[in-house]
Structure 1
Amino acid sequence: MDLSLHARIRAGDPEAFREIFKDHAQTVYRHAVRTTGDWAASQDVVSLTFLEAWRIRENLRDEGDTPRPWLMGIATNVLRNTARAGRRHERALARSPVKEAVPDFADELIGRITDGEQLAAAHAVLAQLRRSEQEVFTLCVWSGLSYAEAAQALGVPVGTVRSRLARARSRLRKLAEQEMKKRRADQRRTEPVRDSGQVRGGRTEAARLNKEQNR
């Protein structure tokens, strides 16, 4: 009998797991990068997501044609736990004595500067939303899940996904406008001021040189 992919996953078929990893690992990774703003941490999120998927594989239900919503729900839980662990780590570091700073590996990161800056700006704005709004926005807008898939991933009704996404988009528009105004103001403050005296000084200097040459 031909078993469905979901049934094969529940049965612990290694080939089925390799198949879903190949098809969905990049989706989980991109979602993690956009949520955390951290490439290295996102690789850990991918590993933890698929390890947890293997551990709870018997919980996968026969809903839809793809296990993507199930995987993204696991990834969302992993991201929640990672964020909590990160906050605990930061508090522990704050209590520790200050150590000598480790130099940055600029050569390794130079190719990522532009993308990193853009991602950091987007992440800074997104971080101002409630966690529930962040999760819906990243799943539906950045990772491309449908309302039904996001609802399945988060374990909430479809109507809740719709209302959270509407609030997230409304708040993000306002926050993005504020961020753009702030960036423009910062840019104006850092622009060099032209010295009008340079032109007059240049003409005076030229006149003086002409007089000396005509002597």
Structure 2
Amino acid sequence: MTQTGPPDRDLVAAVAAGDETAFGTLFDRHSRAVYNHAFRLSGSWSVAEDVTQATFLVAWRRRGEVRLTHGTALPWLLVVAGNHVRTEWRSARRRRALLGRVPVEHGPDPADDVAGRLDDERAMGRILRAVRRLPRAEREAVALCLWSGVGYAEAAAALGVTEVAVRSRVSRARARLAALLGPAVKEDQR
């Protein structure tokens, strides 16, 4: 996809000076990638929406601290989104533990039964269970490089490691995921 408008470097500088229009342009440019990244990490469209909003709120609040990687703010935004998803997981675990102590009986809301979204979330949940079994370094490499299309060099800069290390993590993650997901992956590819 061809980038139109000023480069991220100019936008980030303008945003640091408080330019809301430049921030809107930065949001328009990267919000879809952040949203997709958050969905891939969380397996939930609604969590992805919340994480995207929180990520750009942090970007505005910390506008003087946004780091560019190879001229783009996207890797920094994706790392912020990943941190928000981890926070959401911890909060969800605490909520589930609390709800587990309270006897509640309720059925699913028919309004939430949107087939496509549920299928996506079910499939992503299965993949996430496998990805969560990977070491953290491999999960981060998968999330940035495979899911969000960040280049190896940009991912390496965002994670503070070498490009070779990122490539190695992605390779090991692919092998482990193939073993974890096994025959179902082959069936899905037909």
TM-score (norm 1): 0.74
Per the TM alignment, residue 42 of structure 1 is displaced from its structure 2 partner at its CA by 0.9
SS at match of 1:4: helix
- CA drift of 1:138 comes to 1.5
Aligned mate of 1:161, from 162, 166, 175: 166
Change (3 A) 1:135 1:100: same
Q: Output the CA distance in 2 between the equivalents of 1:155 and 1:76.
A: 15
RMSD over equivalenced CA pairs, Å:
2.5
Structure with greater Cα Rg = 1
Q: Does the CA contact (< 8 Å) of 1:73 and 1:152 recur in 2? A: no
Corresponding residue to 2:140 among 128, 135, 144: 135
* Helix, strand or coil at the partner of 1:101: coil
Q: Specify the alignment match of 1:126 in structure 2.
A: 131
Structure 1's 63 and 99: CA in aligned 2 closer, same or farther, altered over 3 A? closer
Rounded to whole Å, the distance in 1 between the matches of 2:125 and 2:12 is: 37
Q: How far apart are residue 76 of structure 1 and its match? A: 1.6
Q: 1:129-158 CA deviation, whole Å, 9 max, x = no partner?
A: 123211210210111001122123333333
1:101 and 2:106 matched:
yes
- Among 173, 178, 182, the alignment partner of 1:173 is 178
Quickly say closer, same or farther: Cα 1:122–1:13, change in 2 above 3 A: same
Deviations 1:42-71 (A, max 9, x none): 110001100111111111245423211111
1:69 aligns with 2:68: no
Match of 1:144 among 149, 159, 163: 149
Alignment correspondent of 1:30: 36
Residues 171/112 of structure 1: CA separation in 2 closer, same or farther (3 Å cut): same
Tell me, yes or no, if the aligned pair for 1:71 and 1:153 is still in contact at 8 Å.
no
The CA distance in 2 between the partners of 1:29 and 1:175, in whole Å, is 26
Structure 2: distance between partners of 1:63 and 1:107: 39
**Aligned pairs, number:** 180
SS in 2 for 1:59: coil
Note the residue ranges of structure 2 that are not aligned, 5 or more in a row. 1-5
Q: Deviation string for 1:26-53 (max 9, x for gaps)? A: 1111111111111111110001100111
Match of 1:115 among 120, 124, 146: 120
Q: TM-score of the superposition, structure 2-length normalised?
A: 0.82
Alpha-carbon shift at residue 107 of structure 1 (Å): 6.2
- Give 1:16 deviation, angstroms: 1.1
Matches within 5 A, 1:9-28: 9-28=15-34
Q: 1:178, CA displacement in angstroms?
A: 5.9
Is structure 2 residue 10 aligned with structure 1 residue 4?
yes
Q: Does 1:91 align with 2:89?
A: no
Unaligned runs of 5+ in 1: 184-215
